[in-house]
Amino acid sequence: MNQRNKPFFRATGAAILLAASSAVLTACGGAANVAEPTPLTTLESPAYRMQTVWKTDAGEGAGEYVSGFKPIIDGERVYVGNSDGYVMALDLATGRKIWRSRTGDRLISGPALAGGLLLLGSRDGQVVALSAQTGEREWTASLSSEIIAAPAANDEIAVARTLDGRLVALDMANGQRRWTIERNVPTLTLRGTSSPVIVGDTVYAGLDNGNVLSLDLATGEERWSQTVAFPSGRSELERIVDIDADPLVVNNELYAVSAGGQLASLATTSGRVRWRHELASEKALALDDRNVYAVDRDSVAWAVNRLTGSERWQQDGLKYRKLSGPALLAGDLVVGDYDGYVHWLSADDGSVIARGRPFDEPIRSQPLIVGDRVIVVGAYGEVAALRFTPSDER
């Protein structure tokens, strides 16, 4: 089954129940895990052609692990992390290696970037801070469990979410703990978490119980909590409501999506629900002036009206291809898939208007857009910078 859908079990005495739940989840992980990927059809008149500007091998990637690895840009550099403990800085223009740092840690998420530091999470519960300039270690903070989502940070405070339900704030100067809050984790959850999001003096976090929290960044004091998706059904499997995609915050609006089947728009000031739309997803969201864009658990792409929550369109032509979250480029959408293809979808109607294949590794993380380039990272360490040019300029 798909690694992302492997369950995480909180320790309880109900071993028989958990074993049964595990067997059910493995056998019945959903159509997205057992159905054949939709075959690709030839695009007769693609609107764009893909050019690979550069491609490089940046290490081991995540391999088969569920991870929170994602590329990040700072000026003329691209930073990537790997499960073998290496972190690399690449030149954005050429892909040339600037530095390579061996941490010795079992990294699983990041990097995040703030205050000149790169922050990565490890399978052993460590937040590792490296100098973005040189790759040298600045500090390490040991937390309670695996940090499978990239920490969030500003110049003063970093916030990490652990797999056992804690949110921990760390001082960016030395990694010392400032505050910790804990929330109960449901008995059965998906193996994944969303990264916290820092906006001004507030940190927002999506939880495994289907709630979004708003906290004071300085103190950890709760400002509000809102439920995006309510558990329903008789079994623990049916009651999964994890929020594993990062909340998306724009001005006074927050968008969050649950694997339990709800996409919601909340007011950042109060947590008030503006609308909900039935949609189950674990993938990163994208947003423009008109719509919120999502990829559901069956790899159907959606556009949902940003103001009303009504459906604009669905695209099921890439169903079961294990799409990444969408990213916006030149007003349209870019997604990666399990076979290393990059697809360009029209934001107007979801139609596939271009396609390319920079490598044959799964592209799990949301593509990163910088200027006219698309940065994609493969599950096994390939990194590529792509450019899409109109076909009539060929």
Residues 6+ apart with CB under 8 A from 188: 7, 9, 18, 21, 25, 236, 237, 239, 240
Residue 155: inside a domain: yes
Residue 98: inside a domain: yes
Q: Could you say which of 136, 161, 191 is where a domain stops?
A: 191
Residue 230: inside a domain: no
What pLDDT is stored for residue 327 in this prediction?
Answer: 97
What pLDDT is stored for residue 66 in this prediction?
Answer: 78
Q: Could you say which of 191, 219, 246 is where a domain stops?
A: 191
Is there a single domain that holds both residue 121 and residue 29? no
Name the percent of the chain in helix, strand, coil, to the closest 5. 5, 45, 50
Number of structural domains in the chain: 2
Residue 374: inside a domain: no
What pLDDT is stored for residue 235 in this prediction?
Answer: 76
Residue 30: inside a domain: yes
Q: Could you say which of 163, 191, 219 is where a domain stops?
A: 191
Residue 365: inside a domain: no
SS3 329: strand
Is there a single domain that holds both residue 73 and residue 181? yes
- The residues with which 336 forms a beta bridge, in sequence order, are 342
Nearest to 322 by CA among 22, 3, 83: 3
Nearest-angstrom CA–CA distance, 393 and 141: 51
Residue 319: inside a domain: no
What DSSP state is assigned to residue 23?
H
The sign of the CA dihedral 337, 128, 169, 189 is positive
What pLDDT is stored for residue 191 in this prediction?
Answer: 74
SS3 21: helix
Instruction: Report residue 266 as tokens.
Output: 């909340």
Residue 151: inside a domain: yes
Is there a single domain that holds both residue 94 and residue 183? yes
Is there a single domain that holds both residue 111 and residue 27? no
Is there a single domain that holds both residue 24 and residue 122? no
What pLDDT is stored for residue 296 in this prediction?
Answer: 97
What pLDDT is stored for residue 29 in this prediction?
Answer: 36
Is there a single domain that holds both residue 92 and residue 11? no
What pLDDT is stored for residue 199 in this prediction?
Answer: 97
Q: Across the 394 residues of the chain, what is the mean pLDDT of every consecutive 10-residue run? A: 39 34 36 76 91 93 84 95 96 97 96 97 97 98 95 97 95 98 80 89 95 97 95 78 93 95 96 97 96 98 98 98 96 96 97 96 95 94 93 60
What pLDDT is stored for residue 87 in this prediction?
Answer: 97
The sign of the CA dihedral 101, 155, 163, 66 is negative
What pLDDT is stored for residue 274 in this prediction?
Answer: 97
Range of the domain at 16: 1-35
What pLDDT is stored for residue 240 in this prediction?
Answer: 82
Nearest-angstrom CA–CA distance, 328 and 364: 16
Phi/psi class of residue 257: alpha, beta or left (left: φ > 0; alpha: ψ in -120 to 50)? Answer: beta
What DSSP state is assigned to residue 284?
P
Residues 6+ apart with CB under 8 A from 393: none
What pLDDT is stored for residue 247 in this prediction?
Answer: 96
Check which CATH number belongs to the domain holding 182 and give it.
2.40.128.630
